[in-house]
């Protein structure tokens, strides 16, 4: 019987900690979601090849992607949340749950504590749980759940986070859990994470985006980011042009303005047709919207996949006119 105790400490992404007043610092793109990470002395039980929290990773224990997450007393965090959400600064709380035996109960206790103080929407990113457990979370106040696929194909999934790396995850179980989550949370209240740049083709990731849309799951796009100490520390991030094409396809597919079947790809699996007119493409590009961070509403994940001063894969704020011109140029318009 799990004897979970109220988690005394929780990790907070540096940007979130600065915005809600837990620490001082200068940031040029403010998160609009408070990102929390369950705090443990040990690493995660899973072994995802891109993650510094993976059980065999030599990466830093206070990192997730390229972001640092200092720990704070949970009570202090929840109190800071209260003032930050009242001021409208923060639109959501996102709890990243590592994979460990007490994870479910720890998150439940944390959610109850947060819900006792604030009414802001709460997302939980976690491993697959059964319906009964997911319902306990919704009853406690969780609005959205994210079960990460991360990989676009079963083969890549097994290679980076499944059986080939001694990970606990199975492709079919992950997809089944997403469908069950839609039954519990409702269509439009379930997300997943898809990482561009793990060796998939643009065609393969567009096909998986379409599967998500047809399953009532919203796919958030991430650019693969090599992190020191992880299995993939020597791999390269995706090219900006490829990432922009996938973002544009993601925009049309998730807005149900087009379907994968109507898109065109070259022999290498690169997108050569979006199934939209040139006018419509230029209009969408001109809005900048396709290149914004995609995920739960209010999730903007500043500098999650890139360093400040470098080209942004996901824009955490509206694009500037010159950034839209740059996107047009990169896309060949």
The residue ranges that bind ligand SF4 (CB under 6 A) are: 33, 92, 94, 123, 125, 146, 191, 193, 220, 295-296, 299
> For residue 117, what is the DSSP state?
T
Pick 17 or 285: Cβ nearer ligand SF4: 17
Please report how close the Cβ of residue 266 comes to ligand SF4 at its closest, in angstroms.
30
211 φ/ψ angles, rounded to the nearest 5 degrees: -60, -45
Pick 77 or 331: Cβ nearer ligand SF4: 77
Please report how close the Cβ of residue 146 comes to ligand SF4 at its closest, in angstroms.
4
Closest CA to 125 of 42, 204, 218, 201: 218
Please report how close the Cβ of residue 93 comes to ligand SF4 at its closest, in angstroms.
9
In angstroms, what CA-CA distances link 203 with 48, 81, 206, 239?
A: 23, 41, 5, 15
Please report how close the Cβ of residue 16 comes to ligand SF4 at its closest, in angstroms.
11
Pick 157 or 274: Cβ nearer ligand SF4: 157
Please report how close the Cβ of residue 35 comes to ligand SF4 at its closest, in angstroms.
7
Nearest 10 degrees: CA dihedral of 131, 136, 137, 141?
140
Degrees (nearest 5) of the Cα angle 44, 119, 215?
60
Pick 192 or 210: Cβ nearer ligand SF4: 192
Please report how close the Cβ of residue 98 comes to ligand SF4 at its closest, in angstroms.
14
Pick 96 or 210: Cβ nearer ligand SF4: 96
**How many angstroms separate the first and last alpha carbons of the chain?**
60
The whole-angstrom separation of Cα 306 and Cα 226 is 10
Q: For residues 245 and 203, is the Cβ–Cβ distance under 8 A?
A: no
Please report how close the Cβ of residue 19 comes to ligand SF4 at its closest, in angstroms.
15
The whole-angstrom separation of Cα 106 and Cα 7 is 6
Which two tokens mark 250? 């993601």
Pick 123 or 242: Cβ nearer ligand SF4: 123
Pick 127 or 203: Cβ nearer ligand SF4: 127
Pick 94 or 152: Cβ nearer ligand SF4: 94
Backbone conformation region of residue 90, classed left if phi is above 0, alpha if psi is from -120 to 50, else beta: beta
81 φ/ψ angles, rounded to the nearest 5 degrees: -60, -40
The whole-angstrom separation of Cα 273 and Cα 252 is 12
Degrees (nearest 5) of the Cα angle 10, 15, 16?
50
Closest residue to ligand SF4: CB criterion: 295
Please report how close the Cβ of residue 167 comes to ligand SF4 at its closest, in angstroms.
19
Q: For residues 125 and 99, is the Cβ–Cβ distance under 8 A?
A: no
């Amino acid at each position: 019987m799990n004897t979970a105790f109220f988690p005394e400490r929780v990790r907070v992404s540096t940007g979130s900690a600065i915005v809600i007043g837990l620490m001082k610092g200068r940031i040029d793109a403010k998160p609009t979601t408070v990102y929390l990470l369950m705090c443990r002395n040990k690493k995660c039980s899973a072994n995802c090849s891109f993650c510094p929290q993976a059980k065999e990773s030599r990466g830093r224990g206070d990192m997730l992607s390229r972001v640092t997450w200092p720990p704070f007393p949970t009570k202090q965090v929840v109190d800071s949340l209260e003032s930050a959400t009242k001021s409208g600064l923060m639109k959501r709380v996102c709890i990243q749950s590592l994979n460990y035996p007490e994870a479910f109960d720890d998150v439940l206790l944390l959610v109850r504590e947060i819900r006792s103080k604030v009414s802001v929407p709460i997302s939980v990113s976690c491993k697959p749980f059964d319906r009964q457990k997911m319902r306990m979370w919704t009853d406690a106040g969780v609005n959205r759940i994210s079960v990460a696929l991360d990989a676009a194909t079963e083969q890549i999934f097994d290679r980076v986070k499944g059986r080939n790396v001694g990970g606990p995850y199975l492709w079919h179980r992950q997809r089944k859990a997403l469908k069950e989550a839609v039954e519990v949370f409702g269509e439009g209240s379930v997300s997943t994470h898809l990482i561009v740049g793990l060796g998939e083709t643009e065609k393969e990731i567009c096909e998986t985006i379409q599967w998500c849309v047809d399953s009532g799951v919203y796919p958030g796009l991430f650019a693969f980011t090599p992190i020191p100490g992880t299995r993939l520390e020597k791999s390269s991030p995706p090219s900006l042009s490829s990432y922009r094409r996938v973002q544009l396809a993601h925009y049309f597919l998730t807005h149900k303005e087009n379907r994968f079947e109507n898109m065109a790809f070259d022999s290498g699996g690169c997108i050569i047709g979006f199934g939209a007119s040139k006018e419509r493409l230029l209009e969408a590009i001109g809005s900048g919207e396709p290149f914004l961070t995609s995920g739960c509403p209010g999730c903007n994940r500043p500098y999650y996949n890139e360093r400040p001063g470098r080209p942004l894969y996901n824009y955490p704020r509206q694009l500037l006119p010159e950034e839209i011109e740059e996107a047009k140029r990169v896309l060949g318009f």
